[in-house]
Structure 1
Amino acid sequence: MLNLGISSEQPSSLTAFSSPQTQPRTIRPIAVYALNGLAAWQGQLLALDSLRGYLVRLDPASDNTIVLNAHSTEPFVDATGLAIWGETIWFTQGNNVYFCGLDDLTPQLFTTLPYTADAVGVWESTIYVTCQKAGYIFIYERSTQRRITQFPLPGVGIANLTVRDEELWVCDRTEQTVYCLDRATGTLQFSILTPFECPTGLAFLPEATGEQALYVSYASEEAYIRDNPNADPSHELTFRDRTFVHPLYFHNDPKERYALSNGYLIEMSYVEELLPLDEVHLENLEWRIALPTETDRQKVRQVEAIGMPFTEEIQEGQKVAVFKFDSLKPHERHIFGWKALLEVRAIKYQLTPDDFNHIPELSPEFKARYLIDDDELAMDTPTIQAAAREAIGTETNILRKILKIRNFVYDRLSYGIKPHIDSPDVVLERGIGSCGEYVGLLLALARLNGIACRTVGRYKCPPYPERQRIPLEPDYNHVWIEFYVPSFGWLPMESNPDDVVERGPYPTRFFMGLPWFHAEIGKGVTFESLRSGGVPVGDLFDLSIGDLAINHIRFTILEELPPI
C-alpha cells in the first residue's frame, strides 16, 4: 500500500563516517543460520539465530561469535525480534512476547497477541510489537501490560524494529526497505532501500567517531553448485542458508524529496560483436548506442570507447555514442562499444498523494510527446481503452492513479519470458508478460489516463555486491518506466519485480524508487539504432540489429562507496 503520512519535518542526513578506516564492515558470524533479530549492547551486537535458538554476541571488528545461552537454547528456537533495555532482553516467539534477564535467561511471558508477533522494540517503559497479520505496531505500557495505542505498519511484509530516541526504525523483509517513523505518532519521516534482500533485524551501534552506525541483518537462501562425488555428473544445484549483518548508509535530502542508500562503484561495458547471419553490404553506416545517464542516483565518472572510436551526440537530452562505418562489407568483423565507470545508489522518493492534489496541466509539448501511441501500444483498441477506464475508476490524484494502474496490471499479469514482445491488448488477454510487455501495458493505460510516461532501462547489474572485482554478466536486459508529475518531474516505477504476491497486497519498494543495481541508459530514446545514408536500416532491408551482431554486457563491482 502507499503510505500517506510522511512528515514534513525530516532529518537531513545520517551516519557520516570520518574516513574509510572508521567505517563499519560486513559481519559474517560463524556457525549461525538465520539471524532474526538484532540489538546493540556494550559496544557489540546481540543477535538471535531462530533456527538453532542461539542468542549470540557478535564482534563487529572480527566476526567473533559467542553463544550466550549455551545451556538454554531450546526456549529461543523460532524466536524472532530482539530488544535490550537495561539488563533485560525482549523477544517474540509465535504469538507471544517474552522478556528475561541477562543474568537469568529464563523467558517470562509479557503478552499474547491474536496473531503472530513478529518483533519487539523497547524504549524505557514502552514496548512496541509488530504484527504483519494485523498490519499494526502495537504499543504497550510495560508495568501494566496495557495496550496504549497502535500504528499502521508502513509495508506489507514481516517487519522488525528498533527504537532510537524519538524515532521508530522498521525494516520490512518483503519491501526490502527501512522506514523511519515518528515514535509518538507513527508518521513516516522517510524510507530507504536496503542493498540486500530479506532484512530481518536492525540496530544502532555507537562508533568511535561519536556517530551511530545502523546495522541490518539479513537471512535468506542462496543457490549454489555442489560437488557431490556420489552423483554422476557430480555437480548439482542446491541451496544453503545465507545470513550476515551489513551497515546501512543513507542520506536523506528533504529539499529534493529523496533518500539515497548504499552505493557501489561499478564498471559497465556494452560491446557489439559484428557477426552477420547473412551477407550484407551497407554504405555510410551510423551505429548509435545510448550512453549511461546522469540522475539523482547515478553519476557517470567516465566513458571510453572499446574496439573503435565513437563520437558523442545529444539526442532528446540523452547522450548517444555514434560509431561510423564508411562501408560495411560482407564477412567484415568488428568489436566495438563503450565502457563506463558509474557510481550507483539506491533511491527512494519521499512524496505522497497529498503533495499533488493541485497540479498544473501537462504542457502541449509533453502531451504531444508522452501521451501518444508511439510504440504499438494498441491504445485505440476497445480492450485497452476499457482497461484504462477500469484501472483508475473515479480516482483523480495522479499518484493514486498511477499506483492503481500498476496494481491493475499486476492483478492481471504474471511474469514470463517470451522471444518477442506482443502488443498490450494481446498481452492482457494472455495474462503473461515479460518486463517489456508489462511496460507496454503500463504505458498504454497511463497515457490514456493523461499521465506522461516513458520507457527507461536497459540493464541490471547482477545484485551480488559482495562479488567485487569479478566480471558479472546479466542474463537479460530490463526495462521499466518513469512517469511525469507536473511541478515535480520524472519518477521511476519498476515494471514487474514488485508483482510478487498473487492478487496483492503488492510491495511499493520500487514505486518511486530504484535499487542500486539498475543502470539507467538513454531515457525515452531508442537504446540502439542503425542508419545507412541517413535512412533507418529497417526501411531499406528486412534486417535487425540481432541479425548483424551479438551483444556482450559485463559489469564489475569495484567497491562499495563511502557514505555521502
Structure 2
Amino acid sequence: MSFALPSMTVSQMFGQRTIRPLTAAALGGIAFIQDRLIAIDTIKGHLLEIDPISDNSKILNPHQVKEFTDVTGIAVWEDTLWVTRGNTVYRCQMNALGLEHFVTLPYPAEGIAVWESTVYISCQKLGYILIYESDGRKEITRFYAPGVGQENLTVSQDTLWVSDRTEQTVYSMDRATGEIQFSVLTPFDSPTGIAVHKDSETGKESLYVAYASEEPYIRDNPNADPNHELTYRDRTFIHPLYYHYEPEKRYALSNGYLIEMSYAEEIAPLEEVYLTDLEWRIALPSETERQKVKQVEPIGLPFTEEVIDGQRIAVFKFDTLTPGERHIFGWKATLEVRGIKYRITPKDVEDIPPVTPEFASRYLVDDDELAMETSIVRRAARDAVGSETNLLRKMYSIRNYVYDELSYGIKPYIDTPDVVLERGVGSCGEYVGVLLALCRLNGIPCRTVGRYKCPPNGELQGIPLQPDFNHVWLEFYIPNFGWLPMESNPDDIGNAGPYPTRFFMGLCWYHIEIGKGVSFETISSQGVRLTKEDIPLGDLAINHIRFTILKELPPF
C-alpha cells in the first residue's frame, strides 16, 4: 500500500512537523522510496510505511516480523531492501522480503547505506565504517567511525551522512575518502536513524532523523497509595534536521527555537538588612553566532544598562533597602537559539601565534580561587597534557583527564580545584574550576560562561518550563580562531572513555549564553562590591527562572 499524496511536495507537507507513528516502540533505520517513508521498529520487528501527515502506518512485513526483530539499520536501492541484524547484513526484494545473507561481521552491524554497488556498514565495536562491493561481497576499504556511539547511515551523491546516538550528532563525510566535512548537533538526544529525501519537483534534499529512547512520566496508579508513581515509557519519533554550514567560520548551525526566558529576583532576606545606595547587576543574554537577542524588557522595576567586556548588564538601583521592604525585579528576553558545532582539527592550529600579553594577563591568571599555586593542581596540569604541545590536543587531553579523575555530584557550594581533585566528585561549577586551572597553567586562555539551560523539550511549546539547576561551562581561546565553547560535565558519561565530543566546540539549542567572562550577578552598596562573605545573594533574595519555547525556527 502507498499513501495518496496531494499536490504539495512531501517536504512542504512535512514542514517542521514531528512524525509520531502511533504503535511504534523504538524506530531504528529509516529510508525514503521516492515519497514513501519507510522505518523499522527495532523492538517489534515491524517494517512500517508511515504517512508523514497523519502518522498512520502500515506493517509491510506482516508474515516476517520475527525475521525483522532486532533490525537496527535499513537502506533501499532501487527495488532492494538492505538490513542489519546482529552481526549480519541481509538484503531482499521489497516485494518479497525474504532475507538473503550478504555478509557477517565479527561484531554487531548497526547502520547501513547503499549507493549503486557500494555498501556502507557501521560497526561500533570495530570503530569503523566498512565499505563493501555489493556483487562480489568483498570489503573495499574502511573509514574511522566519526563518533563513539552506535551509528546509522544514509548516503546522497558524494556525501555519507552518519548519525551517532551517543554523540547526539550527524556527521557529513566524503563518501569516497571518509573525511569529515562538518557535523551538526541534533535537537533531540538518541538519534537512531537518518534518511535523505529528495524533492521530486525542486531537487532539494532534506534530512530526517529518527529518535528512540525512554522518558519518565508520572503515572496515576489507583492500586497504589499514594496513587502517583514515577515510571518510564517509550519515546520515538522522526523530525527534520536543518543545518547551515559556514566553511570559512568553521562551524555549522542546526535546528533551533524561539525562546522566552525570564529571570527575576524576589527580595526575601533570611535576616533583614539595611543597605544604602544599592546597585544590583544581572547579566543579560549574549549576542553570538548561534544566539540572537530579539527583545529584552524589565520585570517589576526598570533598569539601566552597562556594557562590561562586551557583555550587556542590567543595573537595578535602590536608594535604600530597608528591613521589611520587598521587591520583584529582573528581565525577560526573547531569543533565537540554535545548535552550533565547530570543525577545527589539531592540524589547523599547528602554526598559531602566541597568546598576547593582554590575554595572558586576563585569562591565564588565578582570578577566581582556582588554587593554581597548590601542588595537587600543578601536578594535575602536568599529568593531563604530558609532552603534548598542540593546543587543541592539550584541550582534549585536559578534558579527558578531568573526566577520568572526577565524577559528577551536586553540592550547595563550590570548592576550590585542589579540594575537588582530592575528593574526586564535583558539580558543574567545580568541573569548570578544575578545567580553568589546568588550562591556564598550560597556557590556554579560557573563561566561564553560562548560566542556565532551557529544559530540552522542544515539543513542549507554549508551556512555562523551569530548569532544575543553574549551569556553567567554559570557552577556550585559539589565536586566529577566537573563543570556542566546551561543556563542563555532560559529556562525562562515566564509562572511563572514550568520551563523546558532542559539546567539545559545540552547544545545543537549549544552552543559553549569558555573561561571557563576567559575573552573572553582583551587588554593591555605596560603590563597594559586596562578596558572599558580606551578604550571600541566596540569603537576600530568591531567584525565579522561567523558559517558554514559543516555536521552532524555520529552515535556513
Q: Answer yes or no: same fold by TM over 0.5.
A: yes
- 2:181 is equivalent to residue 189 of structure 1: yes
| Local SS of the residue matching 2:177 | coil
- 2:327 is equivalent to residue 334 of structure 1: yes
- 2:520 is equivalent to residue 527 of structure 1: yes
Q: Which residue of 2 aligns with 1:23?
A: 15
| AA at the equivalent of 1:174 | T
Cα 1:272–1:358 change in 2 (3 A) is same
Q: Which residue of 1 aligns with 2:192?
A: 200
Instruction: Give the 5 Å matches for 1:257-336.
Output: 257-336=250-329
- 2:201 is equivalent to residue 215 of structure 1: no
2: CA distance, partners of 1:22 / 1:379: 54
1: CA distance, partners of 2:131 / 2:250: 30
C-alpha displacement at 1:49, in angstroms? Answer: 0.4
C-alpha displacement at 1:18, in angstroms? Answer: 13
Which residue, out of 26, 31, 34, partners 2:26? 34
C-alpha displacement at 1:23, in angstroms? Answer: 2.5
| Local SS of the residue matching 2:358 | helix
Instruction: Give the 5 Å matches for 1:53-452.
Output: 53-207=45-199, 209-452=202-445
2: CA distance, partners of 1:154 / 1:21: 32
2: CA distance, partners of 1:173 / 1:236: 29
| Local SS of the residue matching 1:320 | strand
Cα 1:36–1:373 change in 2 (3 A) is same
5+ unaligned residues in a row in structure 1: which ranges?
1-16
Which residue, out of 479, 486, 491, partners 1:493? 486
2: CA distance, partners of 1:114 / 1:100: 22
| AA at the equivalent of 2:282 | I
C-alpha displacement at 1:242, in angstroms? Answer: 0.5
C-alpha displacement at 1:180, in angstroms? Answer: 0.6
| Local SS of the residue matching 1:288 | strand
| AA at the equivalent of 1:543 | I
C-alpha displacement at 1:209, in angstroms? Answer: 4.3
TM-score (norm 1): 0.95
| AA at the equivalent of 1:89 | L
Q: Which residue of 1 aligns with 2:5?
A: none
Which residue, out of 524, 538, 545, partners 1:546? 538
Which whole-Å deviations, capped at 9, do the CAs of 1:309-342 have from their partners, x for residues lacking one? 0000011211000000001100000000000000
| AA at the equivalent of 2:132 | Y
2: CA distance, partners of 1:232 / 1:466: 31
Worse overlay, 202-211 or 239-248 = 202-211
C-alpha displacement at 1:502, in angstroms? Answer: 2.0
C-alpha displacement at 1:537, in angstroms? Answer: 2.4
2: CA distance, partners of 1:210 / 1:323: 54
C-alpha displacement at 1:19, in angstroms? Answer: 10
TM-score (norm 2): 0.97
C-alpha displacement at 1:206, in angstroms? Answer: 2.4
Q: Which residue of 1 aligns with 2:4?
A: none
1: CA distance, partners of 2:362 / 2:484: 17
2: CA distance, partners of 1:429 / 1:548: 32
1: CA distance, partners of 2:109 / 2:356: 50
| Local SS of the residue matching 2:376 | helix
2: CA distance, partners of 1:466 / 1:27: 12
- Whether contact under 8 Å (2:10, 2:35) holds in the other structure is no
What is the alpha-carbon root mean square deviation over aligned residues? 1.4
C-alpha displacement at 1:255, in angstroms? Answer: 1.3
C-alpha displacement at 1:60, in angstroms? Answer: 1.6
C-alpha displacement at 1:478, in angstroms? Answer: 0.2
| AA at the equivalent of 2:52 | P
Q: Which residue of 2 aligns with 1:52?
A: 44
| Local SS of the residue matching 2:531 | helix
- Whether contact under 8 Å (2:13, 2:53) holds in the other structure is no
1: CA distance, partners of 2:271 / 2:130: 68
| AA at the equivalent of 2:64 | S
- Whether contact under 8 Å (1:411, 1:502) holds in the other structure is no
Which whole-Å deviations, capped at 9, do the CAs of 1:90-123 have from their partners, x for residues lacking one? 0011100001111111111100000111111111
1: CA distance, partners of 2:156 / 2:464: 40
- Whether contact under 8 Å (1:24, 1:213) holds in the other structure is no
2: CA distance, partners of 1:74 / 1:237: 32
| AA at the equivalent of 1:424 | P
Which residue, out of 515, 520, 531, partners 2:508? 515
- Whether contact under 8 Å (2:11, 2:206) holds in the other structure is no
Number of residue pairs aligned between Structure 1 and Structure 2 = 547
| Local SS of the residue matching 1:441 | helix
Identical columns (%): 65
2: CA distance, partners of 1:26 / 1:104: 30
2: CA distance, partners of 1:456 / 1:281: 32
Which whole-Å deviations, capped at 9, do the CAs of 1:440-486 have from their partners, x for residues lacking one? 00000000000000000000000000000000000000000000001
| AA at the equivalent of 1:130 | S
C-alpha displacement at 1:563, in angstroms? Answer: 1.4
